[in-house]
Amino acid sequence: MTHKNILITGGAGFIGSHVLRLFVNKYPNTHFVNLDLLTYAGNLENIKDLENKPNYIFEKGDIRDAGFLKKLFEKYRFDGVIHLAAESHVDRSIENPLAFVQTNVIGTVNLLNAFKDLWKEDFNGKLFYHISTDEVYGSLGKTGLFTEETPYDPHSPYSASKAASDHFVRSYHDTYGLPTVISNCSNNYGPNQFPEKLIPLFINNIKHNKPLPVYGDGQYTRDWLYVIDHARAIDEVFNKGKTGETYNIGGFNEYTNIDLIHLLCDLMDEKLGRLKGQSRKLITFVKDRPGHDKRYAIDATKINKELGWQPAVNFEEGLSKTIDWYLANDKWLSNVTSGAYQKYYEQMYHKR
Ligand code: NAD
Ligand code: TYD
C-alpha cells in the first residue's frame, strides 16, 4: 500500500464497515478517515472494534455538503478515496427518488470536485475508487451475463442514480484526468446488513414468525456474494486495478428468490429447532415491485484473470454464518428495528 491518507465514505454502513475493518487492520501504516452521515443505514456499532485503532478516525458529515467536503479534503489531504456512501435500497428509491439523486449523484460529484480541487493536476500516486452495482446494467433474460462492456440500462431510481454517478466518475477521468476506477458488484449478503434487504429482513421475520413478503412470483434471480469476499475484491482493485478501468465483481452464484427463501427457511428451522417445513409456511406472495429487474448475473472473469480475485465463501456456508450472526446479535437487530424502522415497515408493507 503506497497511499498514506485514505477517505472511506459510508464506512458505518453494511459493506463500508467490512471494507474499513479489512483495510484498517491490514494496512497499519495508512491512515483511514471514515466519513459517514449516520443515516438510518449507518451504525457506529458496526465498527466498534476499530474505535481505538491509531490509524483510524471517524468524521460525521454529509457528502451532499460541498463546503464541508472542501474543508475535510484540505484538512486530511486524501491521496486515496474509496466511495461507498449512498442511498442503497431500491424500494426506498421508488418512494423518494430525489433523495437518491441528492446523495448518489450530487454527493458523488461533490466528492469528485473536492478531490480535483485539492490536487489540481498533480494526480500522481492518487486514486478515486467508486463503488457501484450490477443494477446499472439493467435486467438479463434467462441466459447471458453482465460484462464490463454491457451497455447501461437502469430501471429503478436507485440504479439510475448509481448509473449517473458512474458516468460522472468516468467523465472526470476523461475530462480532467482524474485517476479513477469503478467496480460493479452483485447482491451482497452477510453480517451487519440493514434488515430492509431480502436476506436480513427474512431472517428477522422468520425469527419472529412474521409473514415473508415475496414480490410477484418469486422467480427473480440475483447473484449473491458474501460481503467479506466483496471487501477482498475492493482491496485488490484499489491496490492493483488500472486507472480508468471498470471491474465487475460477482459470486458466480445465481439463485431465484424463491429457491433462496426455501433454503433460508430450512436452515432457520434447523437452527431454531423447528419442525422441517415450519418456516416455509410464512411465505406470502405479495404485489410485485414496480420495474422489478428479472435477473442479474455477473461475469467476473476480468477481475479473476487480471487481479487474481475469486470468491472464497460458498453460499450455503455464508448464509449459515449470516444467520448465526443475526441470531447471536439480537441487540443489534432490535436497536436498528426500533423506532423509525417500525414506521418504514408499516408504510412499505401495508400496501403490498
Ligand atoms: P448501506 O445503505 O448499508 O450504507 C450506506 C452508508 O452511507 C450508511 O452508513 C449511510 O449512513 C451512509 N450515507 C448515506 N448518505 C450519506 C451522505 N449523504 N453522506 C455521508 N454518508 C452517507 O449501503 P451498502 O449496502 O453498504 O452499500 C454501499 C455501497 O455499495 C453503495 O454505494 C451501494 O450502491 C454499493 N453496492 C451495494 C450492494 C449491496 O448488495 N448492498 C451491491 C453492489 C454495490
Ligand atoms: P433486495 O435485497 O432489495 O436487493 P435488490 O433489489 O437490490 O436486488 O431484493 C432482492 C430480491 O428480493 C429482489 O428481486 C426483490 C426481492 N424481495 C422480495 O421478494 N421481498 C422483499 O421484501 C424484499 C426486500 C425483496
Could you read off the pLDDT of 48-98 as tens digits, one per residue? Answer: 999 999 999 999 999 999 999 999 999 999 999 999 999 999 999 999 999
- Residues 6+ away with beta carbon under 8 Å from 80: 3, 5, 6, 7, 126, 127, 128, 129, 238
Residue 173 corresponds to which amino acid? H
Instruction: Find the 290 Cα to ligand 2 centroid distance in Å.
Output: 12
pLDDT of residue 98: 98
Yes or no: say if 79 and 126 are a contact pair by the CB < 8 Å rule: yes
Q: For the purposes of burial, counting CB atoms within 10 Å of the CB of 84, is it exposed (0-12), middle (13-18) or buried (19 or more)? A: buried
Instruction: Find the 305 Cα to ligand 2 centroid distance in Å.
Output: 31
Is the Cβ atom of 12 under 6 angstroms away from ligand 1?
yes
What secondary structure does DSSP assign to 82-132, as a single string?
EE------HHHHHH-HHHHIIIIIIHHHHHHHHHHHHHTT--TT-EEEEEE
Is the Cβ atom of 13 under 6 angstroms away from ligand 1?
yes
Is the Cβ atom of 85 under 6 angstroms away from ligand 1?
yes
Is the Cβ atom of 181 under 6 angstroms away from ligand 2?
no
Residue-wise pLDDT tens digits, 115-140: 999 999 899 999 999 999 999 999 99
Instruction: Find the 198 Cα to ligand 2 centroid distance in Å.
Output: 5
H-helix or E-strand containing 164?
A: helix 157-176
Q: Give the DSSP letter of residue 179.
A: -
pLDDT of residue 329: 96
Pocket test for ligand 2, best of 14, 222, 295, 337 (most atoms within 8 A of CB): 222
* Per-residue pLDDT in tens (0 to 9) along the chain, 352 residues: 899 999 999 999 999 999 999 999 999 999 999 999 999 999 999 999 999 999 999 999 999 999 999 999 999 999 999 999 999 999 999 999 999 999 999 999 999 999 999 999 899 999 999 999 999 999 999 999 999 999 999 999 999 999 999 999 999 999 999 999 999 999 999 999 999 999 999 999 999 999 999 999 999 999 999 999 999 999 999 999 999 999 999 999 999 999 999 999 999 999 999 999 999 999 999 999 999 999 999 999 999 999 999 999 999 999 999 999 999 999 999 989 887 777 888 888 876 6
Residues facing residue 221 across a β-bridge = 256, 295
Q: Which of 296, 182, 287 lies closest to 233, judged by CA?
A: 182
Which residue matches cell numbers 472526470? Answer: 172
Is the Cβ atom of 213 under 6 angstroms away from ligand 2?
yes
Q: Tell me, which fold does domain 5-190+225-253+294-314 have in CATH? A: Rossmann fold (3.40.50)
Is the Cβ atom of 131 under 6 angstroms away from ligand 1?
yes
Rounded distance, CA 15 to CA 13, Å?
A: 6
Chain-centroid distance of CA 246 in Å reads 17
Atom in ligand 2 nearest the alpha carbon of residue 196: 24
Residues classed as catalytic = 134-135, 158
3-class DSSP assignment, residue 155: coil
Domain ranges within the chain, ordered by starting residue: 5-190+225-253+294-314
223 phi, psi to nearest 5 deg: -110, 110
Instruction: Find the 124 Cα to ligand 2 centroid distance in Å.
Output: 41
What secondary structure does DSSP assign to 259-324, as a single string?
HHHHHHHHHHHHHHTPPTTTGGGGEEEEPPPTT---B--B--HHHHHHH-----S-HHHHHHHHHH
Task: Kindly identify the ligand whose nearest atom is closest to the C-alpha of 217.
Answer: 2
Is the Cβ atom of 257 under 6 angstroms away from ligand 2?
yes
327 phi, psi to nearest 5 deg: -70, -30
Q: Which of 350, 351, 345 lies closest to 40, judged by CA?
A: 345
Task: Kindly identify the ligand whose nearest atom is closest to the C-alpha of 211.
Answer: 2
pTM: predicted TM-score of the whole model, two decimal places: 0.98
